[in-house]
Amino acid sequence: MTRIAIVTGAARGIGAATAKQLASDGCTVAVLDLDAEQCADTVAAIEASGGRALAVGANVADSEAVAEAVALVADELGAPTVLVNNAGILRDNLLFKMTDGDWDAVLNVHLRGAFLMSRAVQAFQVKEGWGRIVNLSSTSALGNRGQANYAAAKAGMQGFTKTLAIELGRYGVTVNAVAPGFIATDMLRATADRMGVGFDDFLAGAAKEIPVARVGQPEDVAAAVSFFCSEAAGFTSGQVLYVAGGPKA
């Protein structure tokens, strides 16, 4: 059976790698991001490898946009039973400099977005009697200077994950979280730019602090998501897997 998957924030980085991985696993993938046109490269890569994908534009923090997007996926591809909540943004600052807007924007995209997407997709999963939800957390959930908003959102994703696992398990739906560590993405490049550090130097410095002596790649995270979305993960639910090159508390 071909599963229909939705990956949010899939235009680039971890989301794009995950969309490609799930397509390789045999899923038909809805590649969702704020602007459908930005999803073109991910869709093209999937189709070039023989897969099927659909670009979908939606603001995951907008309930009407989410409802319309999920309905579009169901109409165009079929009932979505796999959901990866990856969409996220950064608005880093120290607490005394952080604005209301910085806080609200991050919590809205990460937490509200995951809530709205999960609520919409679970209706299809429950009807089908099978589903997989994977939420993207982060090692920042354990605390990270200058990221009070992001850390709170990513810690919230873990509580959200465990609660959905309890609520949806009886319907054949598993819910897990992947918590990446230092992954080489455009988001980190922006962080390096803000710090006035060259990206290569930024990565090299980080690698020295990681037990496996390298930084992560989006594909490392995609591999973990792939397992949680698989048939083999049917007895694994409510878990948080740190993909960080070493142990985390």
Residues annotated catalytic, as ranges:
150
Separation CA 8–CA 4 (nearest Å)? 13
Residue 76, SS3 per DSSP:
helix
Q: How far is CA 208 from CA 16, 212, 213, in A?
A: 27, 9, 6
Q: Of all helices (H) and strands (E), which one includes residue 114?
A: helix 113-128
Separation CA 97–CA 185 (nearest Å)? 25
Neighbours of 42 (CB within 10 A): 25
Residue 56, SS3 per DSSP:
strand
Scored b (16 or more CB within 10 A) or e, 140-170 reads bbeeeebbbbbbbbbbbbbebbbebbeebee
